[in-house]
Amino acid sequence: LIFISVGIFFIFFIKVNYERIKIEEKEELENKRKFTENLRREKKERLDKERFIAWFRENMSGEEYEEYCKYILKQKGWEVNLTPKSGDQGVDLIASKKYLKVCIQCKRYSKPVGNKAVQEIFTGKQYYDGSHGVLVSNAGFTKSAKSLALKTEIILLSDINLKSLEAYCAPV
């Protein structure tokens, strides 16, 4: 009878602890999920705040987007000039800092930017004797644009990463 009582108690003890451990694991997973979600939300809010400070709007025109990119670079100590609206050879901005002369094309699109823009900035970089060619977009890039950029050594950036331009431009 004692063995049966001890056995029943032992089984009950194991079952209760197993259920407690499962509940704790579930709570831990939920806490990790919430933590990760909060980190993502905070990062998005920080980026949205940075973009707001720099006047980013989802409905801005191409020219406003160029000014927005120019503002970001000026905040990081770059000397930035807008090229003429016509005959710019695919270059919207020329940013200079130290030994760098970076030719930049800015694309404010609703869909990923394609090959044509990479071809344009590649040509424009040659035309302006730039040290680097950069294509900036708010909407990402197509697979073929990424492939061509790799071959032509054109740097593809999101406007969010534009503030770190100098890090992307290793000495040539």
What does the alpha-carbon distance between residue 43 and residue 146 come to, in Å, rounded to a whole number?
26
Give the pLDDT confidence score for residue 59 in this predicted structure.
75
* Crossing angle of helices 115-127 and 143-152, rounded to 10°: 20
Name the β-bridge partners of 104.
Answer: 93, 134
Answer yes or no: is pLDDT of 122 > 60. Answer: yes
pLDDT digit string, tens, across residues 14-55 = 887 788 888 889 999 998 988 888 888 877 777 666 665 656
Give the pLDDT confidence score for residue 80 in this predicted structure.
96
Contact 137, 109 (CB under 8 A): yes
User: Pairing between strand 100-107 and 132-137?
Assistant: parallel
pLDDT digit string, tens, across residues 85-109 = 887 889 999 999 988 999 999 999 9
SS3 labels along 18-77: HHHHHHHHHHHHHHHHHHHHHHHHHHHHHHHHHHHHCCCCCCCCHHHHHHHHHHHHHHCC
